[in-house]
Amino acid sequence: MQYDVNKYMELIRKKLSPYRFHHSVCVAKAAVQLAEKYGADVDRAFLAGLLHDITKEMPPEEQIRWIKQGKLPFGEVERRSPAVYHQMSGAVYVRDALLIDDGEVFTAIRFHTTACAGMPKLAKVLYLADFISDDRQYPDVETMRAKAYEGLDAGMLYALEYTIKDVVGKQRVLHPDTTSAYNEIIMKEK
């Protein structure tokens, strides 16, 4: 499937801060590299990477409106997890405002922060690309990059463990989708 990448590049350049724009381009490039390695659709990977944070800088109230308009679950866990608003609002925005009717792209954007059980390949690619993009600099990023290239599940497991430790260490709400994704990989390996 072909998309007008230049149109979306200009859109995010206008909607996002220079920092977030640069991050989105870096994630799109990382998603392409992972898609090539693991046999996911490269065009969809680039598009999902480019648009994954399209609503991240919207005010929370506006993000919640998009989430509710899209009829996505928004319970107490979500309400207490503002860091996940943009994955839900972004997926709905891409589908409903940009009219990109692509279930794979929707799912990839929808779960790029929490992950979930049953993630398709493209969603795993985006989840990992967001962790390993060239602009990322955190203490364990080189290990994360190596794990991402060992295998999709190896990368996912390492990234999920990292996320769980980080969220628990900060005493924040851990989204059940993250737990489900972790448990699925662990049970598959054992």
Residue pLDDT, tens place only, 32-80: 999 999 999 999 999 999 999 999 999 999 999 999 999 999 999 999 9
- Which residue, among 183, 190, 133, has the nearest Cα to 156 in the 3D structure? 183
Contacts of 26 (CB under 8 A, 6+ apart): 133, 134, 135, 136
- Which residue, among 77, 32, 103, 93, has the nearest Cα to 180 in the 3D structure? 77
- Other beta carbons less than 10 A from residue 42's beta carbon: 15
Residue pLDDT, tens place only, 70-86: 999 999 999 999 999 99
- At residue 2, the pLDDT reads 72
Question: What's this model's pTM, rounded to 2 decimal places?
Answer: 0.96
Residue 167 clears pLDDT 70, i.e. is over it: yes
DSSP classification of residue 82 = G
Domains of the chain by range and CATH?
Answer: 5-189 (1.10.3210.10)
| Residue 164: pLDDT band with limits 50, 70, 90 | very high
| Residue 189: pLDDT band with limits 50, 70, 90 | confident
- At residue 1, the pLDDT reads 58
- At residue 190, the pLDDT reads 67
Burial 157-183 (b: 16+ CB within 10 A, else e): bbbbebbeeebeeeeeebbebbbbbbe
Widest pairwise Cα distance in the chain: 47
Cβ(76)–Cβ(58) below 8 Å:
no
Residue pLDDT, tens place only, 96-136: 999 999 999 999 999 999 999 999 999 999 999 999 999 99
